[in-house]
Amino acid sequence: MPGTKSSQGVYRLDTRRTIMKFCFATLGCKVNQFETQALAQLAQARGHTLAQSGADVCILNTCTVTSSGDHKTLRALHKMQRDNPDAVVALCGCFAQTEPERAAQLDGVDIVCGTADRAAVLTLCEQAVQNRKKICTVSDIRQKRTFEALPAGVLPGHTRALLKIQDGCDNYCTYCIIPYARGHVRSLPLAQAVEQAQRLAQNGVREIVVTGIEIASYGRDLPDQPDLTALTAALCRTVPQVRIRLGSLEPRMVTQEFCDTLCGFPNLALHFHLSLQSGCDATLKRMHRRYTTAQYLACVENLRKAFPSSSITTDVITGFPGETEQEFAQTKQFLCRCGFAAVHVFPYSERAGTPAASMPDSVPQTVRAQRADELRTLAFGLTSDFLRDFVGKTVPAVLEHARADCQPAHSRWHFAIELPLGCGNQGDEIDVVLTEVCGNSMRAIPAKKD
């Protein structure tokens, strides 16, 4: 943001602009959430205010990972337009990047800017309020080779913050549109990531979620090529009072070095989201996933050995082209064998331009949905089994903003905790005794002090 950032990286209020009301909405992943929060922070630093209705400018950060994401984008756009009928409307994010012509043709959309040069969208919006016209700045994202650093921040009333360290993906799984929406791997230099973590800690953040499009590839594009293990260790050392939680990991990241280096940090969250997609080797091969179920299981066992009682979660796609009943049965068996703490299940969704979209032996939509429901039922049982092992145990928990009926908290294992009101203030870390399983969360009471 020109003219507003000091040498210490602090964003200062710019009072030279006409103050406007900005409305932001986000769909999709944690990277999108981070980027929207950063844009809101930059808008406020330029002197603007935030509003949900009656805004001068609306910015919608879109998702396109599934067809459902496309539909949600259109619904969110219509809602923003209803609530802000006179606003300049800008679309950014993955839907805008992969479907720029379609996005530009949507009624009421003024600006389409994709997944690059995010900070520039604010200037475009300011100009459009004065001189309204259609603008599309989307270009080939695969030509981008430099990470766009945006400011990390924390939302009011929250103790957990996101830290984006990486963008892009070079894996090209056959079902996935994201490499075409996000481009090649680009990483935030390690020193800058550490500086952002320090600022978050100074602002009272109690947990930092390290996020990116494919964080296992972190650093491969940087001159000294630090990897995710080195970055995570640096973060844990620099802000020992802050819990560090890793975003989604590829199995290749879970090496012996990863486990040996990180197992000694008490502020590393005992939660690892290890991407799976299928528990059948034949399906994994068609997906162009670069591991077998045997290799994946070895990663799970290595994590459990290095981080006892850790929460290992995953995601699975049902109904991928060619998935037979036998292959689906293998996936169910493999999920049980791994004993996941949680499983995110998605029915396969064709994405135009990906190899899988033209594969033979398409699975009917009804079968995809039926298999997804079956896995969700299985996953609920796995989660219940995992949580039951914690009943009666005393664990640390960070308190969140109190609700009307309870005091929420979050644990080192990622599961949510419900406490009675009056246990402390937001951001406090207290010891609690876990008393019972409640769906996908747990109830607890404060531990008695000696």
Q: How far apart are CA 151 and CA 46, in angstroms?
A: 14
Q: Which residues contact 400 (CB under 8 A, 6 or more apart)?
A: 158, 159, 407, 408, 409, 410, 426
Are 36 and 26 in contact, with CB atoms under 8 Å apart? yes
The kind and range of the H/E element at 311 are strand 311-318
Res 17: pLDDT: 61
Radius of gyration, alpha carbons of the chain? 22
pTM for this prediction: 0.92
Average pLDDT per block of 10 residues along the chain, 450 residues long: 42 60 95 96 95 95 90 93 95 96 95 92 93 92 94 82 98 97 98 98 95 98 97 99 97 97 97 98 98 98 97 99 99 98 98 97 98 98 98 95 92 95 93 96 92
| DSSP 8-state class, residue 353 | T
Q: How far apart are CA 417 and CA 397, in angstroms?
A: 8
Q: Give 227-284 as a 3 state SS string.
A: CHHHHHHHHHHHCCCCEEEECCECHHHCCHHHHHHHCCCCCECCEEEECCECCCHHHH
Res 277: pLDDT: 98
Q: Which class for 417: exposed (0-12), middle (13-18), buried (19 or more C-beta within 10 A)?
A: buried
Are 229 and 257 in contact, with CB atoms under 8 Å apart? yes
Are 302 and 259 in contact, with CB atoms under 8 Å apart? yes
Q: How far apart are CA 61 and CA 68, in angstroms?
A: 15
Q: What number of other Cβ atoms are within 10 A of residue 143's Cβ?
A: 9
Could you give the 3-state DSSP secondary structure of residue 136?
strand
> Rounded to whole angstroms, what are the CA distances from 373 to 26, 254, 380?
26, 30, 11
Total residue count of the chain as it appears in this document? 450
Are 259 and 303 in contact, with CB atoms under 8 Å apart? yes
The separation between the first and the last C-alpha atoms of the chain, rounded to the nearest angstrom, is 52
Res 16: pLDDT: 53
Q: How many helices (H) and strands (E) does the chain have?
A: 13, 18
Res 133: pLDDT: 87
Q: Residue 55: name the closest of 27, 89, 96, 26 by CA.
A: 89
**Which domains, ranges and CATH numbers included, belong to the chain?**
21-139 (3.40.50.12160), 160-387 (3.80.30.20), 394-446 (2.40.50.140)
